[in-house]
Structure 1
């Protein structure tokens, strides 16, 4: 989680509120007014949304657990008070060790769960298994330790992994529709929308573009790269070249090596809250190069008309749109 200037009590209060909202929003009698109040609460502070998403993930995991028998004398339907929810949460907390042990033994629940994000700067974290992870700007991921595997879900962004070796406990990174499976190695995973790129530095990995078939995959050796996007039957495999700059972000740099704008925009948009669009394919063929600071990518967009034969407009959704000047021929 990103650095926050909150006391432990303030942080706990946010976590408790997120748990209460999660239970309330899943209740059958939750009203439209309550949902509106929740949206206001979630928008009031970045940690509110962050903690609620964590609670929602736990709720989704719990939804797959076996259900106990229905009570013999069902309670009459009535609106449950916040105090009742608080009591239910307390009871759940006391029952959690037993539930967790059973869930762990059957491979349903993790023994540990961690959530991390990096906002305005690169962040380095150590997972519970000792693996080291470096998070690029705007990256969010979770780590869960299951009985049969260590699992990372890359929700967005980019991360470099140095995985602690454990041949009996594979390390799996889920990204978009696919996954990367290793036992101990060093590799990088970049993701933007449904596009994923895996670059291997050391060891070996299995890259699968469709995690619904986890036993498949293509093996990478050091210096190789795999790319895939949603719906791909298999990833595209290639060899990286000596001057590959895909890991320049670890030094705070975005390197565009004479790329067509169509190829460069996913790399640029990864750092922007509002993505830049292309007016047409001809504009996308114009090439761009240079080395840029990852914390100042927004200014790169505004300077493009100064270095390329393009101009900027905005579409009806407010996105910047790059247009080629009339009569411009893309540079080869």
Structure 2
């Protein structure tokens, strides 16, 4: 993909990502895993390095930035948008180091006063966010939290998280996952994300869910005991009423419970715990049903045991992924 093939939104997203990396790498609690992720991001596209170097150049001029800004500095001119957006974004970052001017970015709503990157790999974790909300992270989960003047914003990069949101009716809490979002002011709910699939389970209170990232007029309200699921690009989420024995939150106790589900339904829940996703040979294999209670920390062992409990055998494709194949029943005797 060359630079000219990128849309304005894609270019802006790269600029914003470069700004976030510039900010995050300055933090004292920046982890080795984050630095590795930054290196991977940097080499993923030539424009990433270009935008990041531009951010660093502007960052290095921070000492020369004025400590107060005129009112007309925020609107961006129509021409040379990319250059001016880089400056505006980097200036917002630079304001973090300028106490006398930091409030400008906060008041305009483009500079957060708090940023947290959370990650769990082999263990469940529980963290209190800077706004007082609590979040539990399932295995292999990553998310970002930024606190803006007009909203508290979470981006669920991958995995699953349970939120107990500190109530603030004037400061909504919004979780972005795939192309959609979940908006609350104070409640308890769970968000699961695998690739472009998302499922929101409400435990207490109410939430608004949108699958296409549009304004609140395209959202749907959930009450306690309801679920919303969608894929990136869906026009609207699919709504369900959960039942008393629903197992969506079993992960909080380290369990994955499969209750007579087809392999096609079960694989997304299994694959989120695997380094390489398990695949199905065909739709016939996907129709085989599976039940059982499994420890989430031992899902990798589940793959090797499936041929012992189901009519399947394992092969490996050219990409190194394990593939489930159905064992055809013997032909009926005539």
Q: TM-score, normalised by structure 2?
A: 0.73
2:36 maps to what in 1? 49
State the aligned residue count.
269
Q: Cα 1:195–1:274, aligned 2, differ >3 Å: closer, same or farther?
A: same
SS in 1 for 2:99: helix
CA distance in 2, matches of 1:93, 1:52: 25
Q: Cα 1:233–1:48, aligned 2, differ >3 Å: closer, same or farther?
A: same
Q: Cα 1:95–1:242, aligned 2, differ >3 Å: closer, same or farther?
A: closer
Could you tell me whether the CA contact under 8 Å between 2:153 and 2:174 is conserved in 1? yes
Alignment pair present for 1:184 and 2:186: yes
SS in 2 for 1:97: coil
Structure 1: give runs of 5+ residues left out of the alignment.
1-17, 24-44, 69-87
CA distance in 2, matches of 1:99, 1:311: 64
Task: Give 1:103 deviation, angstroms.
Answer: 1.4
Task: Give 1:215 deviation, angstroms.
Answer: 4.3
Equivalent in 131, 134, 147 of residue 133 of structure 2 = 131
2:253 maps to what in 1? 251
Could you tell me whether the CA contact under 8 Å between 1:309 and 1:328 is conserved in 2? no
Could you give the per-residue CA deviations for residues 255-285 of structure 1, whole angstroms, max 9, x where no partner exists? 0111000000000001011000000000000
CA distance in 2, matches of 1:54, 1:127: 26
CA distance in 2, matches of 1:120, 1:295: 7
Alignment pair present for 1:164 and 2:151: no
Q: Cα 1:22–1:67, aligned 2, differ >3 Å: closer, same or farther?
A: farther
Alignment pair present for 1:288 and 2:290: yes
CA distance in 2, matches of 1:250, 1:220: 22
Task: Give 1:48 deviation, angstroms.
Answer: 2.2
2:263 maps to what in 1? 261
CA distance in 2, matches of 1:143, 1:258: 36
1:27 maps to what in 2? none
SS in 1 for 2:154: strand
Q: TM-score, normalised by structure 1?
A: 0.74
CA distance in 2, matches of 1:201, 1:20: 35
2:208 maps to what in 1? 206
Alignment pair present for 1:221 and 2:208: no
Q: Cα 1:298–1:281, aligned 2, differ >3 Å: closer, same or farther?
A: same
Task: Give 1:216 deviation, angstroms.
Answer: 2.7
Superposition CA RMSD, Å = 3.2
Could you give the per-residue CA deviations for residues 166-224 of structure 1, whole angstroms, max 9, x where no partner exists? 00110000011100000000000000000000000000000000113344310000000
2:151 maps to what in 1? 149
